[in-house]
Every structure is written in structure tokens, then in C-alpha cells.
Structure 1
């Protein structure tokens, strides 16, 4: 697996071998700084990198925290590496514990290496070892990074990669040259510590990495080195503060959920905890919520659709201030006509400016769910103008059936899912308006909703006995997103026979070797695979269908039992394909390994929504 660590300002990606690959700073998603860190032990006249094949490596998060632990073991040593970002400072901490497993004392050199490329477009930079501060600084014209330790550094090297001065070359030779500075496009550096370690003895050391905006202000470098000194002297307190912060978030979720009422779901609580902790790492301190920290594919932006689902999941887990900050972010990014563009940098600047109308509906739907959970009328009043603009926009596009890009960002037209989201947004806005006694000024929304109830009949394919993917142009394809007509947006009742038939045909359309439900049978994105969100989408539709059929009592028990069995199989498939608590976008259809972005926030949000099981609160 791999993992992410962060604090809302700074987010770092740690790969499955424990290397800190890259970090986002000063916002989540932007800018990207490639750290490319490694460490190695030099003993018995040989170098052992942590990524060497001779180590047995395992990785997991410490329980109820975003502290990632990687364990390395060979015949000689057992090493624990705990990586986290301080919740109180923009500080990455790699805490190493090295245990001698042999019967003899070992002379050891520990090396830490960095090949940091600063910013989205790396430029000429300088790396220096500052002896009086016992640390490295690396800077270009925009940013500065400070790297130090809570132990006295024995030796160092500042060089240019792919040259005679490269710190990487020195590590391979087991001795650093102690060149104290280097300037170039691709600089690198290394620090080392020498120590003796007796049998069964443990040696501990923390490597500290602090970034800061520089912009040519040398005082910022001095302040950063002072912060490093403070962190060295207070590491235990900073660590405990960070650990307790994450645990308090989990406690809030448990208090919100109580002891899960449905016995069958209790065993899934650990999955929900990890999903919540993952979502929290995707929340920028200014309110934006990025889709994923993935660079390949590049999903490190805010889509209001994805973020809307994530805000709902956060609310379900009692993290109401996080979703409120997101809606404040939405107010600042909303267009004057009431819409939002395709996606944004997390600071709020538009990235792709195409329009996907479903994102407008999702935002207002998520806002209603927030109100239903919190009962905060003041929140509604603060956000009414945003809701009003969005509702007027949705009413206009509904009446004219204005086309746009689909939720998969592939086709242009009037899509079933988009119509569902428009209806869900309008109805959510209308219910909000009623709460605020604004009914008279939004009667035209109700007319638009009635119009959509008529239009949806044009999507139905009588010969096939199911709904089409789109009209204008007509696309008769099967697509799992058609379920959005019913769940969660409620344009078509869950127990409408046409919807039931559509769902059954969606299920039968996919026959992957490993199981699961994809987007549509002809999908070629990353080869076409089952997705977490689509599999859970069908699961939640069936689950709600069982609930409705059971209450109406019109169907035989065998029919309900059959749908319950389908639900169990779908949820079992999803939970089987989590990777140490992390859910990807897709799972390889033959190999069962994660494909595309991991973690994907929308996947984690759907897991929480599915297991929480109070679906009535989700349907307008």
C-alpha cells in the first residue's frame, strides 16, 4: 500500500516502501514538491537502502490516527518508521527506531537522502548545510525547505545529482565529502549519523522537514531554522498533540453514530474510521476539498460533485465545521449565474471552465443534507443567496434542457444522471426555501421540477425495458450513473418498475473476472474496470429498494431475500478491495489490484454513506 499524511496546509504522499515521494504546500494539491527521500544503513562495509529487496516490508496506519508506520526487517535489524505531519506546524516528521537483532555490537551509519525538486516547474536552487544550526536548507526564489534532526548530525554532503558531487554517489561509497553547498537545477543532499548499537538495543532518531514560502525574504529562513529548533525540543509533545487530534476526530464520529444500531454493520466501523481520516486529509484549511492526492491521473483539484459527496460523508461523521467551511468556499467560487465550473484549484481559481450542470445540483443537495443533520437554521440563512442563485440557474437549464458534459467528462448532451441531479438540487433548494419562508419567490422551481418529471419519461426505452443514458442526442447505452435518477436524487421513485428493471440490467451488464460494477460496458478508461463508487451506487439503490418494498409489503419474501443477497455480495466485494483501509477509484478487472487514483475521496465518501445506512436523510 501507500499512504498520505497531512494537516490541511501540508499533505505528503508516502509510497509503499516508506519514501516520502512528494508534498503539496502551501495548499492541498498545489504546489507539488517532489521530495524523493530515502534512508539507508551502512554496516559490515555494505549499504542497505530501505527499498532494498532483502527487507521484509509492511505498512499500516496507527489505530485511529493519520500516522503511517512502515516496518522493515532483515536478519540483522528491525526498523520502524513512523511518518506524520504535525497538526500544529507545517512539519513532516519521520521517526526511525532501529533495533539490533544480532548477537554482536554493530557500528552503523544511518544516511538520509533527498532529491527535492521545488514547485510545479523546478528551477535553479541552492542547498546548504548550516553547521551552527545543524541542518540543511534548500531554496529557490519561491520556497525554502529546512531539514534537520533531533540528533546531532555526524556528516553531510550537498551536491548536484548525476555529477561527481552527488550525495547519492557518496552514500553508495559509505562516506560523505562534506561539501557544504551546491547550486543547480537538480541538487541533492544527504545527512548521516554514526552510532554503535548493542544486541537488542534500540536507537531512535527523527528527521524533520519544514517548508515555507520564501520569496527572497532571508528572515523567513532564519525563522524556519528557529522553528526547527523548537520542534527538536518538543517532539514528544508535538507527536502526542497530533495523535490525540486524530483520535478526537474519531471519538466525535463514534459519539455521532453511537453503538451502531444495525448489528451487521458493527464489524465495518474500522473501515469507516479510516475512510473518515482519509477524507479529513483531503480538506484544505481554507475549505476546498480535493478529489485525490493523485498525480497520475491528476486529481488534485476540487470538483463540486466529488466534494459534495465528501461533505455529506463528513456530516454523517459529525465533522460539521469541515463541511461548513466547504460551503463557504462554494460561496466564494460560485459564478454570477449561479453555476460552478468543472473544477478548481483548491485556492478557488478555476482550472477547467467547462460546465457540468450536475455539480450545481449536487452542491445544493449536499447543503440540504447538512441542514437535516445539524438542524442549523442560521446556516441556511447565511447560504440562502447562494442557494437562490443556484436554484434559478437549475430552473433555467431544466426548462430549456440545456446540454452539458456528463459526470464522466466524456460526452456532451442531456444525461439521465444530470437530470436527476438537477431535480435533486431544485427540490433540495425548494425545501430549504420553505424552511426560510421563501416559498413565494421560488414557485418557478416547482414548475421546473414538474417539467422534469414529464421529461424523464422520454428517457425510457420501452423495447429494452429500461432508461437510456441520455437524450439530445439519444444514447441508449447502459450506464450505472442512470441510478442517479432515483438514488439519491429522487426524480424517479426507487420502486418504479422501470427503475427496478434498469438496475437489474445494469447489474447483468458487467461480468468482470473479479466481480464488481463498472461505469458502462464499453468503458476503456484505464482499460475499463469495476469502480468502488459504481458498485456502492448499485448497493445503496438495492438497499433502499428493499426498505421500500418491505414497508409496502407488496412483494414476496423471496424477492426481498434475493435483493438482500445482492446487497451483501456488492458490499462484500467493495470491502474486499480496500488496501489497508484505502479505497481506489478502480480495481483491475483481472488482477484485483488498485487502478488509477488511490485514495479517491468519492470512494471513501460512498463507503461511509453506504455503511451509515440512514438513506432517508439523503433523498430530498
Structure 2
């Protein structure tokens, strides 16, 4: 299932066999550059890294964003360690080769690329420079591929022609054409590997993207600087990662703090979320192209911001709110999603996102105690809350959080309530309470009207939507209570709704889905929804325990069972969107930011701070 490595400008997706699938540059999520890299060993015949007789394993190195792929056969162990330093926009591939045999080995190692530059690839040129590196460029970007081990041969060609570097690798000899142009250029570099018995060797491959103005010397000089300082660059990144996650154990719930697996996944979840955060403030939902989630949704960004804030990371949520302030509509709303450069992508309105952003801002304020934060963003807060007040009074329909149906949804009303209540709470920090009394009245209106309008007497639970009425059992109905607190967690109507949700799903592998009739990717249990019900049950336990209700322990056990299910489906510390309902393998996007954020919310020491 691979992994991701990146900083806040460059992000690379590493595939199941250690290949570079694609890069995002110069921003996280934009633009996409399909890389299609490959490694091959040639010893009388070619052996690609996807061939079946390799034993392959992958994992992150603990407390780093270095992703390791190990390919082993009967002769060698080939290890690739990929990372992107925080200080430079370069993908560094550390290649280790160990000879397992009692005799000397001689073979060729090839690195191949079929890079398509940009969102809409145009004619490009690939060229071998006398500096000893490959460059590929169009009118906008240039990529440089070099190594600190002398390159022994090269080829620049076109993928579907006789000059293709891929064909040369199959034949074991690169023709050393120095330049080629076209839509689908490719290239390869090779090294003659000689390793004594039971010995190893190691070297780096460097992949640098930059904007291109026609001057090769800029990128080749950058390559030289990075190669000469690679150890310092790595150490700087190592120290940064360790500082980011250094003291997080104190934030973890006391009952979970000593669990080494939970601690390890918590660190990985945090480091994963940081790689989804762009330098300009946007936070992408996932570094995924199939499905295509490399965009900024206010909702996903809000949950991710809350998770980061809970674990003491303040600057990135603040940067996200700054980004959202710049793209807010004049009426106070936001569109469905955006590119990380702030340009709109899908332009529907999902009102829950407006409420979610205000909720996340209030969590940030409550944790930081920084009144200047509220002052700085008050105009944004006020516009958004005024928008929510109008749609609340009219029960205005919109698209649901799953982006499938149009109506007035329980989850949306919960988010509207939370957003208004959070904005009303923040108004005190800037002495505006008297000017926003209408918000307070609207909060009370929602508190009274929503339970009455959404409750289904015959079913003894809440509806998914009204106008049109939709009685479907949907896990998102929990949003009325958790985390948005419109309906008390121990309201018997809410308890019966939660129990109905739990009973509705009978997957072979377990877990909780969105709704029983779901067909997206076949309809599977989701990490988000399973954690959602687990979080609701845990909070219910806490409330019932305080009231000395003898049902409390029942719900604690339910919560733990659901959380333990989620723990089974962490892959290299990454949580996907879904788990295949029969096979138990990750489905859809991995990692999904919201899934990792919900895990962090669960393991946090006390969730009172996120409840409006």
C-alpha cells in the first residue's frame, strides 16, 4: 500500500514496490507530476522491482518521515529509504545493497523514469548534462535526477519508440542518447555494481523539482549543494520530526498512555497530518488521485486542525484559518472545496462546513487562550455566523457531508448549532456579545426545534434528513450529539439512535459504515464512522458514570470494542478511508486525513475541550 513522504511544498507517493508513483509540487496537492519510476537489476537478464520473486516489506522508520522499502531475493537485499527534508524541496532515495552470497556479485542497477510534468502535460525535453545528471523540463518546471555515486551509463528517449529507455533496460544496455523531446519522454541511469561476499554498499539518488527559466545552472548548483550537505540536511529533518512529536505522550489519555502500539500510531498519525498541510495554509483531505481527494474541504481541514491543536501544534491550524479567511465568500459561506492555491474546484454549498470551521476555531481559541486570534479573525467569524443564523432560521437545504443528497440533514443542523454557539462564545473575547444577541436566540431556537423536527416517533430515533424526509440509518446523525452537542449525549432518543446505527451494520470484518445501503467502493466499514460511534459511546459512558447509571460500563465496553477494531486496520501507522468488508484490506484513499484526525481525537486525554 506504500506511503507518503514530504514537506509543506513537495509530497511524494511511494507505491507498493517502492516506486515513485507521483509528486505534488510546488504545493501539497498541486500540481501533480506523474513519475512512474522503476528500479531494475540486470544480471544476464532483467529483473524489475515488481517481479514476483522479490520478498517485499515496507514501513516507516520510527519517529521520522523516512519510508523504507525492502526487496529481497536469493542473492541481494535491496533497501530504499525515501524522504523529503524539511529544508529543501528534494526527494532523497538512499539505496542500500547487501550481498547475501559467499561470492562476489557483479550486476547493473537501473533507475527509470517516465515523468509527465504538470496537471496538463505538454511537450518536454529530457537531457543528460555533463554535470552527470538527467534533467527533464518544459516551459514551467524542471526536474533533475542525480546521484552521489558516479553514473556509468544513461539513455534519453521516448517511451513508445525504439529509443525508449525502458527497452534499453530490458536489453541490459543503455544507448546513451543525450537528448529527446516529446509528450512521453523517458530516461534511465545505471550503475555497475560490484559487491564482495557478504558486503554492502550505499548511495543516494536525488530528485529535485524547480520552476524553470531556461537556466540549467541553478538546479545543478542546488544539486551539488544538497549532495555536499546531505548528512546535515537529514539530521536537521530528524531533529525537527523528533521535536514535533517529542512530548506528545502527555496529551494521550492516561488509560492509553502506556500502550506502545497506540503511542507509535499516535506519532505516525500526527506526522502524517503534517504532510497534508501546505505552506500557504490549505490542508488537503488525502494525497490520493483515485479517488481524487487532493483538495481542501473546510470540514476535513477543521477536524485535522482540531487534532493538531489537541496535541499542541498551534501554528498550522492558525495558518489554515488564515487560508480560509482569504477564500471566504462575501455572504460568509465557503464553497464545497478548493485547490491548495485557493482557486475553487467544486462550487456546491455544504453548510456543515461553515459550522465546522467555526467549531475548530473555537477549539483553537479555548486551547490557546489567545484573544488576539479572535480579534484577527473576527470579521471572518462574524460573517460566517451571520450566514449560519439565516440558514438556521430557514432550515435551508444543502448537500450532505457525503456529497450525495440534497436536503436538511441532521449532521448539518448539528454543525450549524455548534458553529453558532462557538462564534457566540468567541464574541465575548472581543467584547461583541451585545451585538450578536440574535445568535444566542438562534442557538436556543435550534435547541428546541431540531430534536422536535427530526425525531421519528415510530422508529424511536432521529432521521437522517427532513425536507425531504429520509429515515435512513446514517452514522452522521451522531453529529447531533457528538461532537456538536445540540442534543445531550444521554438523551434516550440519542442513545436509541446510536444503538440502531450499531445494529445496522453486519460486515464480515466488523466495523461501522456510513449507512447500510452505501455502494461507494462497494459499501464498506469506514475508520471515521467506527471511531465516531466509539467516541459517542465513550462520552456517554462518562456522563452516565457521573450520574451513577448502571448502564455506563456497557457503553464503555462497546466503545473499546470499536476502537480495538480500528487499531487492527492501521497500515504502517496510516489509516485509510475504508476497509474492505470481506477482505479486510484498505480501500479508497490512504492515508485519509480525517481518519487519522479522528484517531487522535479518540486518544487525546480529555475531549471536553472540543464539545461546544
| The two structures share one fold, judged by TM-score above 0.5 | yes
| Aligned-residue offset at 1:384 | 1.2
CA distance in 2, matches of 1:128, 1:95: 23
Where does residue 331 of structure 1 map in the other structure? Answer: 325
Question: Of the candidates 442, 445, 453, which is equivalent to residue 451 of structure 1?
Answer: 445
User: 1:578 matched to which residue of 2?
Assistant: 570
Q: Please list the CA deviations of residues 561-612 of structure 1 after superposition, one character each: whole Å capped at 9, or x if unmatched.
A: 2111111110011110111111110111111111111100000000000111
Determine if the alignment matches structure 1 residue 588 to structure 2 residue 580: yes
Q: 1:234 to 1:382 in 2, by over 3 A?
A: same
1:236 aligns to what? 231
Cα offset, 1:95, TM superposition: 0.7
- Residues 255-274 of structure 1, C-alpha deviations (whole Å, 9 max, x = no match): x52x7522566341111111
Could you say what secondary structure the match of 1:88 adopts?
coil
Q: Which residue of 1 aligns with 2:78?
A: 79
TM-score of the two chains, using structure 2 as the length reference: 0.98
- Could you tell me which residue of structure 2 aligns to residue 14 of structure 1? 14
Between the aligned partners of 1:147 and 1:485, the Cα distance in structure 2 is: 52
For 2:529, the equivalent position in structure 1 comes to 534
> Which runs of structure 1 show a deviation greater than 6 angstroms over 4 or more consecutive aligned residues?
none
Q: In structure 2, what is the Cα distance between the partners aligned to 1:395 and 1:478? A: 27
CA distance in 2, matches of 1:613, 1:420: 24
Which residue in the other structure is 2:65 paired with?
Answer: 66
Preserved contact between residue 142 and residue 209 of structure 2 (Cα < 8 Å) = yes
Match of 2:191 in 1: 193
C-alpha distance 449-487 of structure 1, shift in aligned 2 (>3 A): same
Q: 1:598 aligns with which of 582, 590, 597?
A: 590
After superposition, the C-alpha distances for 1:188-230 in whole angstroms (9 at most, x for unaligned) are 000011132101211111110001112xx213x3201110111
Contact 1:67 1:243 in 2 (8 A): no
Q: Distance in 2 between matches of 1:156 and 1:119?
A: 24
From 268, 274, 285, the equivalent of 1:291 is 285
Q: TM-score, normalised by structure 1?
A: 0.97
1:27 aligned partner = 27
Q: How does 1:96-111 map to 2 (within 5 A)?
A: 96-111=95-110
Secondary structure of 1:175's counterpart equals coil
> What is aligned with 2:151?
153
Report 1:425-444 matches (<5 A).
Answer: 425-444=419-438
The aligned residue for residue 393 of structure 2 is 399
* SS at structure 2 position matched to 1:218: coil
State the partner residue of 1:384. Answer: 378
Q: Give the drift of 1:348.
A: 0.9
Pair 1:416-2:414 in alignment: no
Question: What is the match of residue 494 of structure 1?
Answer: 489
Contact 2:97–2:201 (8 Å) recurs in 1: yes
Higher deviation after alignment, 245-254 or 285-294: 245-254
CA distance in 2 between counterparts of 1:420 and 1:212 reads 45
CA contact (8 A) 2:254 2:605 kept: no
In structure 1, C-alpha distance between the alignment counterparts of 2:521 and 2:72, rounded to whole Å: 35
Once the 2 structures are TM-superposed, how far is the Cα of residue 162 of structure 1 from its aligned partner?
1.8
Provide the rounded CA distance (Å) in 1 between the counterparts of 2:497 and 2:377. 36
| 1:613, distance to aligned residue in structure 2 (A) | 4.2
Does structure 2 retain, via aligned residues, the 8 Å contact 1:252–1:317? no
Q: Distance in 2 between matches of 1:260 and 1:495?
A: 22
Q: 1:260 to 1:536 in 2, by over 3 A?
A: closer
| Compared CA separation, residues 382 and 121, structure 1 to 2 (3 A) | same
Aligned equivalents of 1:101 and 1:458: distance in 2? 71
Q: CA, structure 1 residues 340+265, in 2 after alignment: closer, same or farther (shift >3 Å)? A: farther
**Structure 1 residue 140 and structure 2 residue 145: aligned?**
no
Gaps of 5+ in 1: none
Measured in 1, the distance between the counterparts of 2:107 and 2:291 equals: 40
Against the structure 1 CA distance between its residues 584 and 613, is the aligned structure 2 distance closer, same or farther, given a 3 Å change threshold?
Answer: same
SS state at 2:128 partner: strand
- Counterparts in 2 of 1:170-569, with a 5 A limit? 170-214=168-212, 217-219=213-215, 221-254=216-249, 257=251, 260-263=253-256, 266-267=259-260, 268-456=262-450, 457-553=452-548, 555-556=549-550, 559-569=551-561
CA deviations over 1:27-86 (Å, ceiling 9, x no partner)? 11111101111111222x122222221111100001011100111111110111100112
Aligned residues: 610
- Higher deviation after alignment, 103-112 or 278-287: 103-112
Judge which range, 453-462 or 336-345, deviates more.
453-462
Alpha-carbon offset, residue 174 of structure 1: 1.0
Distance 1:382 1:356 in 2: 25
Q: CA deviation at 1:435?
A: 2.5
Report what 1:48 is aligned to: 47
Bigger Cα displacement from structure 2, 604-613 vs 259-268: 259-268
Are the aligned partners of 1:265 and 1:611 in contact in 2 as well (CA < 8 Å)?
Answer: no
CA RMSD of aligned residues (A): 1.1
Q: Per-residue deviation at 1:253?
A: 2.8
Q: Is residue 607 of structure 2 the alignment partner of residue 608 of structure 1?
A: no
Q: Which runs of 5+ in 2 are unaligned?
A: none
1:454 deviates by: 2.2
Counterpart Cα distance in 2 of 1:97 and 1:151: 12
Distance 1:431 1:265, change over 3 A: farther
- Preserved contact between residue 252 and residue 318 of structure 1 (Cα < 8 Å): no
